[in-house]
Amino acid sequence: MPKQRTPAADNKFYRQIGTHGWRDSDYFTFSAISAPFRRWMAERIEKSKADILSIGCGAGELEIHLATDGHRVVGLDISHHMLKRAMQLGLQRTTEADARFLPFEWDCFDLVIFPESIGHVPLDDVFREARRVLRPGGQVWVTTYSGDLETHPRYRKYKLADLASSFDETGFRVAEHRFLNAKRNSIADGLSYEKSTLLYIAAVKEDAPKPAPGRRGKR
């Protein structure tokens, strides 16, 4: 089992990836390494020019692909070094911020994506913020690791029921889920959570969210 990392070690880990890329790391994201997976994601976007927020964009490989397709994409990450690398690779619109406190107005995006980043953030908090910045009928897409795929020690692997429950509590309706077998050169449907490498789930913003327990509205 990999050694447990501290926050300081995490900062060093992402700084190293931001500086040198994923090549010298023991970890990777399918968004970064798999062109077929990036195409699969892009083909699911119905609007020809969507306003997209990608939370935890890392080095921006997926986001650059979507921007090249004509979408207006903002890549958000808490790591300055990862955003710096994304800009070097060609991502034009980036924001350094915490996913729990998005620096955007209400109702300004069509789609919010968590590309293999959801395991680093608290579900209910970030879904409520995502809902706030989404336009009516907007969607959240989550991709996260499944099966026995090894992940970063501080990454939490959520199952479908975990994500569906949090979506329900924060004002979303799950519209679709897929189990996927993503590889560097291919993407295919998997049979189950255990027999796949990625879980994809899409949820639609509902009209009236449930109130957060014990909390008033943020705005």
Q: Tell me the CATH number at 102.
A: 3.40.50.150
Supply the pTM of this predicted model. Answer: 0.86
Checking if the pLDDT of 2 tops 50, the result is no
Checking if the pLDDT of 18 tops 60, the result is no
13 assigned to some structural domain: no
Would you state the pLDDT for residue 3? 35
* Under 8 Å between Cβ of 81 and 18: yes
How many domains does the chain fold into? 1
210 assigned to some structural domain: no
213 assigned to some structural domain: no
Would you state the pLDDT for residue 28? 74
Mean pLDDT value across residues 156-173 = 96
The parent domain of residue 147 ranges over: 26-172+183-205
User: What strand order describes the sheet that includes 72-77?
Assistant: 94-96, 72-77, 51-55, 109-115, 134-145, 198-205, 172-183, 186-189
46 assigned to some structural domain: yes
Mean pLDDT value across residues 185-198 = 96
105 assigned to some structural domain: yes
31 assigned to some structural domain: yes
Q: How far apart are CA 111 and CA 141, in angstroms?
A: 8
Mean pLDDT of the chain: 87
Tell the burial category of 86 from Cβ atoms under 10 Å away from its Cβ (0-12, 13-18, 19+): buried
57 assigned to some structural domain: yes
Checking if the pLDDT of 179 tops 50, the result is yes
Would you state the pLDDT for residue 154? 77
Which of these, 147, 163, 165, lies nearest to 202 by C-alpha position? 163
Q: How far apart are CA 108 and CA 105, in angstroms?
A: 6
Tell me the pLDDT tens digit for each residue of 137-156: 999 999 999 998 888 777 89
In angstroms, what CA-CA distances link 131 with 52, 57, 108, 174, 192?
A: 13, 18, 10, 13, 28
199 assigned to some structural domain: yes
